[in-house]
Amino acid sequence: MRCPECDSCDIRREPRAPETGPWDYKCQSCGHEAYRGEFCDPPARIVTPEDLGDDDIEGNQRDTGVDMEAGVVVGKAGEPIYWHAPKGRTAAYLPDSPTLWQVLWHNRTVLQGFAHSHPGSGYPHPSHEDVTTFAAVESGLGKRLDWWIATEDELSLVRWAGPGRLDYTTWFSPTSEPEWVGELRKLSREEANDGNGRN
Amino acid sequence: MAMDGTENDAAVDRIADQVNMLQDGEAMINVTWNGQNGDMGPVLRDSPDDQVKEWVQEAVRTGGVPGIDADPAADFTDYVVDKVDTQAGPKLMVRPKVPFGGANV
């Protein structure tokens, strides 16, 4: 990331109190503060499943009528890289997916994190399946990520806090939601149409 | 054997060597850990997943996978094994699991 004010690369995350949300970043050179997306990265090529020669995108699908979990891989600038709606998803589960891992691995240098939805409303908490997946992915990539969980009316952000392997902390009620959250909710309740993920 | 000495030819030679090294029923293991990736083996293609993960964990802890730095704390509990056919022959891809959902913690 580079600071838009002084072009410094020394940008650090400055966690805020839960009431204001842990979303801000601060330039250590000039003190400029902003949401992460306002600090720009050099253009980086995003790798899609199609680039990987994976023509079987695991039947990414839209399901009819019932809310289903869905996910999105998010890049450093806050941009959606890959929408994840695999075959076999349910209202309570996103199944394991070699394609999702390939997308995470090949985009690891431009990756900020992954978000998934929990259909329904209220404050979303990670499940045991979630946190063991968070820990496994971070150990594979060799880097910590941001993990968001969205319900119909709330968004939480989960990050490793340590010291234990599964010691993750959850923040609620950020002051503003990233733009992709609305689209993620839409993907969770959308009726069937194109049968493939979007990039 | 490629003859013009380019990087592509070297890669082709490596793949050919790997294919030639495998016997029927064998596969290489590909491991991803801590942002690094490497191959080890060969092993029996039908080896049980838990056995493969044990071998990989021991190898990574002791620095036995070329391309991956030794990590005594390596833990492959939440990893899975995909059996795939690649240009270089059968591979057992050991990667992190990526399901989400279930009951809240």
The stretch A110-134 carries a mean pLDDT of 94
* Mode of pairing for the β-strands spanning B100-101 and A93-94: antiparallel
**Least-confidence region, from A51-55, A57-61, B81-85:** A57-61
Residues of A in contact with B61 (CB under 8 A): none
What H or E segment, with its residue span, contains residue B91? Answer: strand B89-96
Measuring CA to CA, how many Å separate B45 from each of A98, B15, B51, B93, B98? 19, 18, 12, 11, 23
For residue A165, the one-letter residue type is R
A77 to chain B, minimum CA–CA distance in Å? 21
Peptide bond into A86 cis (omega under 30): no
Is residue A44 pLDDT above 70, yes or no?
no
Residue boundaries of the structural domains of chain A: 1-41, 58-189
The stretch A46-58 carries a mean pLDDT of 59
Nearest Cβ partner for A136 among B79, B101, B103: B79
Give the dihedral sign, CA A116/A118/A122/A125.
Answer: negative
Residues of A in contact with B96 (CB under 8 A): 101, 133, 136-137, 139-140
Nearest Cβ partner for B80 among A93, A96, A126: A96
Nearest Cβ partner for B100 among A125, A130, A140: A130
Cα separation, A148 vs A150, whole angstroms: 7
Angle formed at CA B68 by CA A145 and CA B100, multiple of 5 degrees: 35
Give the three-class secondary structure for A117: strand
pLDDT in tens, B24-72: 999 999 999 999 999 999 999 999 999 999 999 999 999 999 999 999 9
Q: Number of H helices and number of E strands within chain B?
A: 2, 5
The mean pLDDT of chain A is 79
Q: Specify the pLDDT at position B5.
A: 55
The stretch A109-115 carries a mean pLDDT of 96
Cα separation, A192 vs A122, whole angstroms: 26
Per CATH, is A58-189 categorized as 3.30.70?
A: no
Give the dihedral sign, CA A142/A37/A78/A45.
Answer: negative
Residues of B in contact with A52 (CB under 8 A): none
B85 shares contact with chain A (CB less than 8 Å): no
Residues of A in contact with B99 (CB under 8 A): 93-97, 129, 133
* Non-local CB neighbours of B9 within 8 Å, separated by 6+ positions: B2, B3
Query: What is the Cα A51 distance to its own chain's centre?
Result: 21
pLDDT in tens, B60-79: 999 999 999 999 999 999 99
Give the dihedral sign, CA A131/A132/A137/A139.
Answer: positive
Give the dihedral sign, CA A117/A51/A198/A88.
Answer: negative
Residues of A in contact with B57 (CB under 8 A): none
Nearest Cβ partner for B101 among A93, A108, A137: A93
Name the residue with higher pLDDT: A168 or A28. Answer: A168
